Amino acid sequence: MNENIIIQLEDVRKSYGRQEVLKGINLSIVEGKTTLIVGASGQGKSQIIKHILGLVKPDSGKVLVYGKEINKVSKRELKEIRTNFGVLFQNAALFDSMTVYDNVALPLRERTKKSEDEIARIVSEKLALMDIEGSDDKYPAQLSGGMRKRVGLARALVLNPKIIFFDEPTTGLDVAKSNEIYRVFSRTQARLGYTSVIVSHDVPKIFKLADYVALLHNGAIQDCLTPEKFQLSDDPVIKEFVETTMGPLYSSEMEV
Ligand SMILES: Nc1ncnc2c1ncn2[C@@H]1O[C@H](COP(=O)(O)OP(=O)(O)OP(=O)(O)O)[C@@H](O)[C@H]1O
Ligand SMILES: [Mg+2]
């Protein structure tokens, strides 16, 4: 197989006090593909993303990004590696004291030397992509949850990252809006060819986007399979997950 692994977790363990959250995670992320991480609430999905970003240090094990151990690189190298990343945190993590425009413009101002004219062009293009034009001057507190999510997405994509991490990109969005976001993902991924790591509860729908699905259960990755193989798996844990989350077709639409 001609697959280039750009992120690798090797036996990653992490505890908080007496709670063992990650109990030996092994996971490979393939370049240009979409890997979906699924699993019940509190299993440690967001923790995996935070480990890859170098925001959390494992107690043991390795997190390799482009072959480099993310916790052992210098500050400068870490900054350099992070220029490849676009991140949407679960809570969107917008700066409350900044307008929508300034939130989306921030990575361009901090990490590029683009002129304000150029920045304005890129920001309005991304806001249009997310269908939130006209909200430039609003502050996060004046937006709905779904709008905040879309501003977060616009900001995550603003530097055309090589690797994107989306933690629950569609929570709080209605079905139509979620589908639109998925279309944006497919379109931009086809155009830019980025690698994506997505954590999502929106299981039946998001399966269409995924190249690989990894189920996190009891602190370990149960298996990382193509969506087809995942759905047909004989593994009892995967089987149960598929049956409970994908059984009734309407389940994802009922999610609040
Ligand atoms: N800083 C921390 N201190 C103590 N415990 C933590 C910390 N961060 C995470 N945890 C614990 O680690 C576990 C996994 O958390 P995580 O946020 O990764 O879950 P998740 O799978 O993303 O859940 P959800 O689907 O609800 O977002 C939880 O039990 C959480 O309480
Ligand atoms: Mg989470």
34 and 17 share a domain?
Answer: yes
pLDDT at 172 > cutoff 80: no
Choose the final residue of a domain: 120, 144, 160.
160
As a whole number of angstroms, the distance between CA 39 and CA 254 comes to 18
The DSSP letter of residue 87 is E
- The residue whose two tokens read 């699993």 is 39
User: Ligand 1 pocket check: which of 21, 166, 222 to mutate, most ligand atoms within 8 Å of Cβ?
Assistant: 21
Predicted confidence band at 139 (pLDDT cuts at 50, 70, 90)?
A: very high
Count how many Cα atoms sit within 13 Å of the Cα of residue 215 in the half-sphere of its side chain: 23
What atom in ligand 1 is closest to the CA of residue 216? 21
| 216 Cα to the center of ligand 2, angstroms | 12
Q: Whose CA is nearest to atom 17 of ligand 1?
A: 46
Q: Whose CA is nearest to atom 6 of ligand 1?
A: 16
Q: DSSP 3-state assignment of 196?
A: strand
Please, what is the end-to-end C-alpha distance for the chain in angstroms?
A: 40
Q: What integer is the mean pLDDT of 110-119?
A: 94
Choose the final residue of a domain: 160, 194, 212.
160
Q: What integer is the mean pLDDT of 149-176?
A: 87
Q: What integer is the mean pLDDT of 200-205?
A: 79
Q: Are 238 and 62 in contact (CB under 8 A)?
A: no
16 and 55 share a domain?
Answer: yes
| 38 Cα to the center of ligand 2, angstroms | 10
As a whole number of angstroms, the distance between CA 131 and CA 89 comes to 20
User: Structurally, how many domains does the chain consist of?
Assistant: 2
| Rg of the chain on CA atoms, in Å | 18
Closest CA to 218 of 13, 63, 64: 13
Most confident of 58-62, 185-189, 199-203, 246-250: 58-62
pLDDT at 111: 87
> pLDDT digit string (tens) for 1-34?
568 999 999 999 999 999 999 999 999 999 999 9
**Three-class secondary structure assignment of 95-108:** CCCCCHHHHHHHHH
Question: For residue 68, what is the domain's CATH number?
Answer: 3.40.50.300
pLDDT at 129: 81
Predicted confidence band at 203 (pLDDT cuts at 50, 70, 90)?
A: confident
Vertex 254: Cα angle to 143 and 174 (nearest 5): 30
| 44 Cα to the center of ligand 1, angstroms | 5
Q: Is residue 12 part of a domain?
A: yes
pLDDT at 171: 79
- Buried/exposed code over 56-93 (b: 16+ C-beta within 10 A; e: otherwise): bebeebebbbeeeebeeeeeeebeebbebbbbbbbebe
Q: Whose CA is nearest to atom 16 of ligand 1?
A: 44
Q: Is residue 58 part of a domain?
A: yes
175 and 154 share a domain?
Answer: no
What atom in ligand 1 is closest to the CA of residue 50? 18
What atom in ligand 1 is closest to the CA of residue 43? 21
Q: What integer is the mean pLDDT of 193-199?
A: 91
| 92 Cα to the center of ligand 1, angstroms | 16
Partnered with residue 85 across adjacent β-strands are: 163
Q: Is residue 92 part of a domain?
A: no
The reported pTM is 0.88
Q: Which residues contact 247 (CB under 8 A, 6 or more apart)?
A: none
Q: Of 45-54, 59-68, 149-158, 198-207, give the lowest mean pLDDT range.
A: 198-207
Predicted confidence band at 174 (pLDDT cuts at 50, 70, 90)?
A: confident
| 231 Cα to the center of ligand 2, angstroms | 23
> pLDDT digit string (tens) for 125-137?
999 888 888 899 9
Provide long-range contacts, Cβ within 8 A and 24+ apart, for 122-129: 122/158, 123/154, 123/158, 126/154, 126/155, 126/157, 126/158, 127/100, 127/101, 127/151, 127/154, 129/154, 129/157, 129/184, 129/188
Q: Of 28-37, 212-221, 238-247, give the lowest mean pLDDT range.
A: 238-247
| 28 Cα to the center of ligand 2, angstroms | 19
| 14 Cα to the center of ligand 2, angstroms | 15
Total Cβ atoms within 10 A of residue 235: 15
Pocket of ligand 1 (CB under 6 A): 16, 21, 39, 41-47, 90
What atom in ligand 1 is closest to the CA of residue 39? 21
Q: Using CA of residue 97, residue 101, residue 107, residue 108, what is the dihedral sign?
A: negative
User: Ligand 1 pocket check: which of 27, 46, 221 to mutate, most ligand atoms within 8 Å of Cβ?
Assistant: 46
As a whole number of angstroms, the distance between CA 92 and CA 79 comes to 21
Predicted confidence band at 200 (pLDDT cuts at 50, 70, 90)?
A: confident
pLDDT at 201 > cutoff 60: yes
pLDDT at 187: 77
Q: Is residue 90 part of a domain?
A: no
As a whole number of angstroms, the distance between CA 53 and CA 50 comes to 5
168 and 78 share a domain?
Answer: yes
